[in-house]
Structure 1
Amino acid sequence: MDEIVEAKVAPKEEAKSSSESVTKTEEVPLESGKDSGSVPKEEPIESAPVDEKTAEAAEEAEDKKHEEDPMEARQILGWKEWVKVGTKAEQMRAKLDSGARTSSLHAEDVEEFERDGRSWVRFSMRDPEEEDSKAILIKAPVQRIAKVKNTDGTMERRFVVELGFEMGGRHLREEFTLNDRTGMTCPILIGRNALRHLGYVDCSRVDLAPKKIFK
């Protein structure tokens, strides 16, 4: 039987104090991306409707705030880097894309449930392009639900969760939309909300994060 691991989400560049309460996520290794049965099944629930205009206005205000108050450290990163999400997952390839506001990751078997009166989601994460990629079950509270327009023009409803990740020895916490990224360049996409805290992207190079190049 797999043991569930309670993993504290890493704060953005260790910015939060240890006394501040941090919502926990849970991770457990899976076989072939399936639930091992060691995790009790909660009843699915319907999420509260999302005020799209309010969410969009908040994101635009966040963009403006960072334009007026730029970060101090500006590391040079490649357009593709190795990223580790959570504590149990393997390193996976991530595409760094400043054209996307919110980060995204490949999620399978996504299921919503309720815990302590709050909407949570469980999903398995792995690299769909790697046959030997080990799946990790992650459970995290739902931050919001995003409506994304697909390439065919249809709208898709996606859960947004906040997770810790590590890149080149730096630990951050950011929002990720849960998405089927099968067939895409990388199973993880790092958007500009996260890149603000990381630095510039050199679109002609890869794997610069471990080299600690700063401008």
Structure 2
Amino acid sequence: MRHPLSSIHHRFIPLMFAAAALSLGSTPGFAGSPQVLGWVEEGLIFPEKVAVKFKLDTGALTSSMHAENIELFEKNGDDWVRFTLELQDIDTDEKIEKRLEREMVRDIKVRGAGGAEERPVVMMKVCLGNQMYEEQFSLNDRDKMNYPVLIGRRTLEKVGLVDSSKTFTVEPSCTESAQ
């Protein structure tokens, strides 16, 4: 014997599936969703607008940037750091070398296989996708690393999600005035 509601139930199942499929494809449901980026993306370092590979690293807390000839000094009673930004632009293949000075935000102790070391942390502007970020970067000689810029979790929480199966999903498109 069939249950009296079973025929009604069978009529609503296709309607429920259709409604679910439509809601998945509609933009308003995903309007507030964060962007999803690959584990390696092209980014720009400002003010030089140097295009380099950024590794989006969920294992690192603080972002890191390649820097050479790092010197600590005092300016107006504050701790500052002078360093050489030496990078290869992946778009033009041009080597960019620029001596910069930034106020030191803090220093961090980084532990690795080779022991522990202290690194200065400064504020730097970078572009990822169409968004400019002014974030903290530890300075370190990353010459032996594949990626001159590492984006850590403190920055990633503002940027979006990382899909480890993807690379180069967005092109940087910021202007310095897009702050």
Q: Distance in 2 between matches of 1:176 and 1:96?
A: 13
Whether the 8 Å CA contact 2:40–2:53 is kept in 1: the answer is yes
The corresponding residue for 1:145 is 107
> Which residue in 1 is equivalent to 2:87?
127
Identify, as 1 or 2, the structure richer in strand: 2
Q: Does 1:188 align with 2:154?
A: no
User: What are the Cα deviations for residues 50-69 of structure 1, in whole angstroms up to 9, with x where unaligned?
Assistant: xxxxxxxxxxxxxxxxxxxx
- Structure 2, unpaired ranges of 5+: 1-31, 173-179
1:204 aligns with 2:171: no
Q: TM-score, normalised by structure 1?
A: 0.60
Q: Which amino acid aligns with 1:146?
A: I
Structure 2 residue corresponding to 1:76, chosen from 22, 33, 36? 36
Would you say 1:136 and 2:98 are equivalent positions? yes
CA distance in 2, matches of 1:92, 1:73: 27
Let me know the Cα RMSD of the aligned residues.
Answer: 2.2
Structure 2 counterparts to residues 163-182 of structure 1, below 5 A: 163-182=124-143
SS at structure 1 position matched to 2:142: coil
Structure-1 separation of matches of 2:145 and 2:49: 19
List per-residue Cα deviations over 1:25-72 (Å, max 9, x = no partner): xxxxxxxxxxxxxxxxxxxxxxxxxxxxxxxxxxxxxxxxxxxxxxx5
Partner in structure 2 of residue 113 of structure 1: 73
**Higher fraction of helix:** 2
SS in 1 for 2:171: helix
Computing the radius of gyration over CA atoms, which structure comes out larger, 1 or 2? Answer: 2
**Identical amino acids, percent of aligned pairs:** 35
- Equivalent position SS for 2:154: helix
CA distance in 2 between counterparts of 1:202 and 1:145 reads 30
Report the secondary structure of 1:183's partner residue.
coil
Report the counterpart of residue 100 of structure 1 in structure 2: 60
Give the length in aligned residue pairs: 140
